[in-house]
Amino acid sequence: MKIFLIGFMGSGKSTLGRKLSVALKLTFIDLDTFLEEKYFRTIPQIFAEEGEDAFRRKERKVLEEVSAFDDVIVATGGGAPCFFDNMELMNNTGFCIFLDVAPKSLVSRLIHAKTERPLIKGKTPEELQQFIDATMVRRRPFYEKARYILKGEEISPEQVIELVTKG
Ligand code: S3P
């Protein structure tokens, strides 16, 4: 079995993915970490030195790699579903689940997050809110191509297990 967790930054993909990997006995892969280890650079470094387009090409490459693995649960970066035909790749090779968290909750989570995220670095809470609202409008049509959509602030591993075991 292969599961892809998708959704905006701060939607809880990695936290949920780790819990699910234990419950379902799958290997957990955080796509951002996988990318950083492959290219020996952090995401902020790649954005700063090569720009977003180069990051997206690398992201596509690692997504192709992990799509060929079996028995994995992959937490993708928030933008991954919205470039190239990445959604089609994920839908064709695994169960894709969109964690649909309300923008208001994303703002408060991202303000307090320790991870450095180039797209939102240095934004005030108001700017962050605007960025999330505008970006979500553009990204939602991609996210909604997922086979399953789970809405809520605290999506539990049990909810996902029920979905994927029912087929
Ligand atoms: C991004 C989300 C990040 C990371 C990069 C770009 C995005 O991943 O891939 O900073 O475009 O939304 P997380 O969703 O894990 O924060």
117 lines ligand 1 (CB under 6 A): yes
Q: Please tell me the distance between residue 159's alpha carbon and the centre of ligand 1 in angstroms.
A: 24
Residue range 129-155, pLDDT digits in tens: 999 999 999 999 999 999 999 998 888
Which CATH number is 6's domain given?
A: 3.40.50.300
Residue range 35-53, pLDDT digits in tens: 999 999 999 999 999 999 9
Number of domains in the chain: 1
The runs of H, that is alpha helices, within 7-149 are 13-24, 31-39, 43-50, 52-67, 86-93, 103-112, 125-143
For residue 43, the model assigns a pLDDT of: 97
For residue 112, the model assigns a pLDDT of: 86
Percentage of residues of the chain with pLDDT beyond 90: 89
pLDDT bucket at 167, cuts 50 / 70 / 90:
low
Top mutation candidate among 76, 100, 114, 119 for ligand 1, by most atoms within 8 Å of CB: 119
Domain around 107: 2-166
Is residue 19 a contact partner of residue 157, using CB atoms and an 8 Å limit?
A: yes
109 lines ligand 1 (CB under 6 A): no
Tokens of 47: 């954005």
For residue 34, the model assigns a pLDDT of: 98
Question: Ligand 1, atom 15: nearest CA belongs to which residue?
Answer: 77
Nearest to 5 by CA among 83, 93, 95, 66: 95
